[in-house]
Structure 1
């Protein structure tokens, strides 16, 4: 397990522990309020409002500020308890003792839970940025890129060698894209890329992986454990789904957009590396008329 995975696992456990502790403190507070007599209702409600404020101050201003405010609240409670003890029975002071410690514990547990949760979120953002920086994922479509395609193709071809499973790539391009580009806006282009990407993903099986290989001349790729005929059927399904989705799009319905699909199967005798498979699929799109 990598250090990042270990840290993420640790932060998850700490978040859960603080959450459980916070819920236990809330339960203890509820029991304490229920156990005190009815004529202490005003004090309980007042202290509850102060406790909520202390939790919020701790969350927004930090743990040090929260601790100082909780200590000030404890001191104020001591003065209140002394006053109440002088005007009521001695049992009054004992009935309010739970307010001395629970607000502090609630503030600490809530702050701990949210602090570790923020660390988890920051780790997730950093991980996503790292993946994007390394070229593994396209940021706008959330599809894998050429880097991933090459790496995954190596795995697929090794599976082909060991188990004799057919490996095929399907390459999808937009017909006459270069001529079309000057006639569409950037927002339409972004929506078009998203529409094609979503159509391909929806049309494929869950174990078929979709990639965005090129944004300049939009090119998508799919790796499949099937033969050329099976990939051809999937390609026709993608075209049909895209034609329907295009008509349903208010911003793109007026455009004449057609997809080209090229299918190439892995041939260990003729192909030496993943680029050969990808280029063969790209070459096949030229014959899709």
Structure 2
């Protein structure tokens, strides 16, 4: 008996099959698209990060170079307006050298921040004498200490206190704190360096006399380019990068940083290191 082919049923079935195939292909293409996009995004992520770091550096530099460049330009314009004495030339040249030194410091700090943003800081933890680290750090500021007739004290308890830390990172932290301490300390004022053990922590404190900052501002001082608006603070040379570097490096070495300050009192920067 001959069977009649139901062409309508056959056509319907074929259409459904083709529809399923089309839907499957569409889903597959969509999935492949998102997979390819995800892979592409991951592959270009390092490039995007590098470009963002370059943009940040350019933004920082252009923002901060304006003032010192204006100072240098104005100083040179003054010198060429009329003949000057040797003493006047020497004075202006020395002032310009100080401005250039400040710019060099700023560039170094900007490069440090850019390197921190790239997460390429490698730590080499070793057992270090706290007294030796503090002594090495403040010896970099002996000239400023002598020039401003500052009094400095160092107390470490116990005397042979040891920390396991990356020494280079620790020195960068201390150097930036001491730079601020010597900068903002009042003439003939006091800077106190203290270190002691408290339970499972080693505490390092650097305290200086002089004009402090308000409690409202203490939450802002670790931001990049932030400088205290306290009376007279803006007149002191600086770029507001030192404490941002301190904050970032303390995070990298697994430490904490705290600040205590009183507008009419002393300022204390406290580094808290977890130790076994």
**TM-score category, normalised to shorter length:** under 0.3
Tell me which of the two structures has the higher relative contact order, counting C-alpha pairs closer than 8 angstroms and 6 or more residues apart: 1
Which structure has greater strand proportion?
A: 2
What TM-score do you get using the length of structure 2 for normalisation? 0.26
What TM-score do you get using the length of structure 1 for normalisation? 0.25
Which structure has greater helix proportion?
A: 1
